[in-house]
Each structure stands twice: as C-alpha cells, then as structure tokens.
Amino acid sequence: MILTDWEEFKKYLFIPIKKSIRVNTLKTTVPELKEKLEKRGWKLKPIPWCEEGFWIWGKDERLGSLPEHEMGHFYIQEAASMIPPIVLDPKPGEKILDMCASPGGKTTQIAQYMKNKGKLIANDIREDRIAILKRNLLRMGVRNCTVTQMPGQHFKDVKFDKILVDAPCSGTGTMRNWNSLEKWNPEIFRRISYEQKSLLHHAYCVLRRGGILVYSTCSFEPEENESVVDYLLKRHKKTELEEIDLKGIKRSEPILEFEGKTFDSRIERCLRIWHHDNDTSGFFVAKIRKL
C-alpha cells in the first residue's frame, strides 16, 4: 500500500518536527514581525508554499510565551497544516464554512485571507473545543466569524461559496516517533472513514454550484483519504477534482488502488505528502468543485 520510500519514512520517525509559525496579517505585517523576532535572536526560514509562514528556531524560549503570540501577531501552526486554507483560496466578501474548525489555526488563516470581510462560519461539535476556538479567534483579531456548535451534518437550507472540511482523522500523519506508532489501530480509521464520508457529503450539499470544497486530513490511510474522495465522486456526478499546484512543495503519488478496489483516476489530482517529502507532518488535500 505504501507508495513511498520506506527507509526515508522510518528515518523521519526519529526526527522531531520543526517549529513553524504563520504571521497574522490582520494585526501586523510579515516584514515587521520577522524583524522583531530576528532582533531577539530567532532565526526564520520562509515556508515556500505559504507567504506568511516561517520555520523558526534558535532560542530556548517558548514561542507561546512571546508577547507577539499573546497579542495575536502570529499563530503557532505546523507547516503542512497551512496548506488547506491556501488551496481553498478565500476571498474578501465570500461566505465560507469551516466545518470542523477547532482549535482555529485554519479558521484564522481563512479570516486573514478574507481580510475580515465577508461571512465566515466556524463550527465544531464539542463544547471544550469551541472554547479553545473562541479564544484563538479573539486573540487573532477575527471579526467576521460566527461560531456554531453542532454536527457538521446539521447544516441545511444555506449555501456557501467555499467550505473547508478538515476532517477528524486518525492523525497518523503527525506521528514522528515510534511511541506514537505503537498506538496505531486499523479499526480506528475504518470507523472514522464512515464519519468522514458523511461530513464530506453534507458539505457538498450546502455548497453552491461552482463553489469550492476542500477536504483534508493529517492521516496517511487511504480509507480516510482517497477512498473518501472516491465515495463523493461516485455519489455526486456533477463534481470535479481540481489540480493543486503549490510553490516549492514535494508531493507523492496518491493511491489509486487499495484492497482490490480501483479509485476514480481523477484522484491523482489530489495532494498527498508523507512527512519525509518536505520534513513536515503528513497531509492529504483534495480540491473539489461543484458543477
């Protein structure tokens, strides 16, 4: 099943993931924050696919304790996690749904691309996660967002220009140590796959014609990724997958056949990255247009 370099994959299990931040342009500018942090001894390297993103290192001080973090000038966000909002390409004035929003990294990224103009709905299902989401929205200066708490399948009688379904998943793409892999259980992602298909289907139903739906997970499992997108393509014929072209990113081939099942050939347009491709967490992203 694994269509990647197994030896490289194993090597990166012993390498801690690099720290990264996203500059919040609702409150500051990229040059301004970069200059402040570098003057205090931090080293920053641009993340190629995100103009506001940087890998950061060089000091023992915790990033979360910096005053700029408390003021919402940046968000501590893994580099691959910045990809789905970039693919969604939010614009000021649009009506956008982030169906599984907490803790809010991608939500606040969407808001800054919207420049706080338009309507953003940030939804999650659990009260404790909603509390975290609200704190991050407030800290980052997001003003165009309404927070809702309900299953994503409950959205009805409304149409959105764009929707992000960053689905609950097994999180195998975030495992960068052997201890995490010991918790791996194939039954988990088989159960999760059913929920992911349901969320994606209902998101499609509340997307306007011509609208964009981005589906993403931080999982490696085809049951949670290619299989879910294949399900949508087969259920809704008036659907197209769009190419994902990001600057400076190395990608791996999506999985087109699994356990005797052949997926729709258009799935090759999806973005699949393993953690050794770009020294990030693993991610899967699909860009879907409703025809």
The rounded distance, in Å, linking the Cα atoms of 127 and 136 is 15
Residues with a catalytic annotation lie at 218
Which structure tokens are listed for 25? 């342009």
Sign of CA dihedral 111, 132, 165, 63: positive
Sign of CA dihedral 275, 281, 284, 290: negative
The residue written with tokens 């200066």 in the block is 141
